[in-house]
Amino acid sequence: VIIKKADKGSCVVVWGREDYLREAYNQLMDSNIYSDVNYNESLLKGLAEKNNVLFTSLKARGYLSGKQLKYFTIEKKKCTNLGKMYLLPKIHKCLSSVPGRPVVSNCGTPTEKVSEYLDSQLKPLMQNGKSYIRDSGDFIQKIKNLKNLPDSAILVTADVVGLYPSIPHESGLEVLRKRLEEREKISVPTQDLVQMAQFVLENNFFEFNGEVKQQISGTAIGTKFAPTYACIFMDDLETSFLETQ
């Protein structure tokens, strides 16, 4: 890895192609997360049709306006794309054998519209979570608001290794359903939103170095509802854990 200084305190990182590909394939070889795909164009067309069915159903039951349906519909003549995987180098870890953060760009894919809609519907659930932190300023304020801590108290931080691809579909969707059922005002039926989430999670097809893969576990960094989904899952996990302590 070569790091070049740039203006305003930023830097440019140059990652050698061979090292980049080696790191990518080290991750893609994990059969618990990724699988090979016998790709053909009918796959994307079928997913685009499924996208349209999901939104047409909402419109027919009065949960979408005509204008919204037009926005979320994928036109038959419009070509849809496979996701594109790339790595972000984690140079804060080390400068040799650099680990990479896998990102799958969801732009132009058949699941992009559904993911965007889910993100808008699920954000209120995320923001109402007990462990939700809006930003660094919000975190600092929460620390300042801690009262009556004993002198022996220890503040602890923890990190989940590879959170996004580590959330099992079954467990993640179960948590999502539970949280959706707790809503005071149900603007869109729970079953529809869970079905949409399943559609996004199970159809993450992407291309890397000319090969087509599918992510079969967790959610991909790069799809719009992933951060919201992951935060909801972790809030439930943390709440359940703390209740046992």
Q: What is the pTM of this model?
A: 0.90
CB contact at 8 A, 66 and 244: no
CB contact at 8 A, 114 and 199: yes
CA distances to 6, 218, 229 from 169, in Å? 41, 6, 11
CB contact at 8 A, 82 and 104: no
Provide the pLDDT for residue 176: 97
Rounded Cα distance, 231 and 245, in Å: 21
DSSP notation for 97-145: S--EEEEEE-TTSTTHHHHHHHHHHHHHHHHTSTT---SHHHHHHHHHT
CA distances to 23, 83, 90, 161, 208 from 20, in Å? 5, 18, 12, 20, 12
- Is 15 exposed, middle or buried, given 0-12, 13-18 or 19+ CB atoms closer than 10 A? middle
Provide the pLDDT for residue 79: 66
Q: In 169-242, which ranges are E strands?
A: 204-208, 211-215
**Residue 14 pairs with which residues in a beta bridge?**
2
pLDDT along the chain (245 residues), means of 10: 72 89 96 93 92 97 96 84 94 88 94 97 94 92 89 87 93 97 94 98 96 95 96 94 87
